[in-house]
Homo-oligomer: A and B are copies of this chain.
């Protein structure tokens, strides 16, 4: 994204959760570290562009973008805990719980969540009542027991579930697609998109979310195999859901191209009725490039389907 855009979102990410001088020092330091380490900020960039494409005020667009990014960041803090994925590094620095303990990471995540709801509320408060309640119901559904939390719990108990494509995609629906749907659909709801447009955005979020998950899964398998003397993927050794492990690398590459093609159909129809969101073609291009690269590394051909 443009440098000025990134700078503006970076400052918004760091500055949208003011820390009072009286805040307990350990929690303050933990939050400081999180707020000074934004990720790629690709999600907030998309939220901003869609919001503006649908005519939202820039201030509301930024509140919504940062609010959703705070939810996402909080979910990573929880994900990384020893009782969940037990990760050690995130965004190039040691995980928050390693430096501030599980309790410190949990309180920091809760601070982000509390602020995220407030920012989202502020962003929707300028909308007419119907859009407001539609947007808040959509937020609740995708963050809660119908979305993110269900995916996370299925992920944690994957050992008890059938290791097939349906299950891995169900988990990805909860963990990955939920947040991408909020990213693509929530601004459109507030912008008064028609139900037809919302349906197209929901399908695009579904196909792209599952695609990104397959890209991750393939990288896990291929990169691990590439390492000398290590032919077992991290997901396999930890019994984590990975579609390439349950339907094979070839099947996963095919599925990836299939999903991207399905998304293309929806994207074409969406841009016809809403040219303002044609920037989504750039995301599609990046996704396609990843797919081609993976296809080449697997079978040495460019997989015409997404060329």
**Residues of A participating in the B interface, judged by any CB pair closer than 8 Å:** 17, 19-20, 22-27, 31, 78, 81-84, 101-104, 106-107, 110-111, 113-115, 117-118, 121, 125, 129, 132-133, 136-137, 140, 143-146, 149-150, 152-154, 156-157
Contacts and interface: CB of A to CB of B under 8 A. Distances in A.
Given A25-B157, A107-B153, 19 more contacts: A19-B145, A23-B150, A23-B153, A26-B157, A27-B150, A81-B102, A81-B106, A83-B101, A83-B102, A103-B153, A106-B106, A107-B149, A110-B149, A111-B144, A114-B149, A115-B144, A117-B140, A125-B132, A125-B133
21 contacts: A17-B145, A22-B150, A23-B146, A23-B150, A24-B157, A26-B153, A27-B145, A27-B150, A27-B153, A31-B145, A81-B102, A81-B106, A83-B103, A84-B106, A111-B144, A111-B145, A113-B113, A115-B140, A118-B140, A121-B136, A125-B133
Contact of A153 (B24, B81, B114, B154): B24
Nearest to A146: B20
A146 B107 CA distance: 12
A114 B146 CA distance: 11
B103 A81 contact: yes
**Chief secondary structure at chain A's binding surface:** helix
Given A81-B102, A103-B83, A154-B24, A136 B149 contact: no
B145 A20 contact: yes
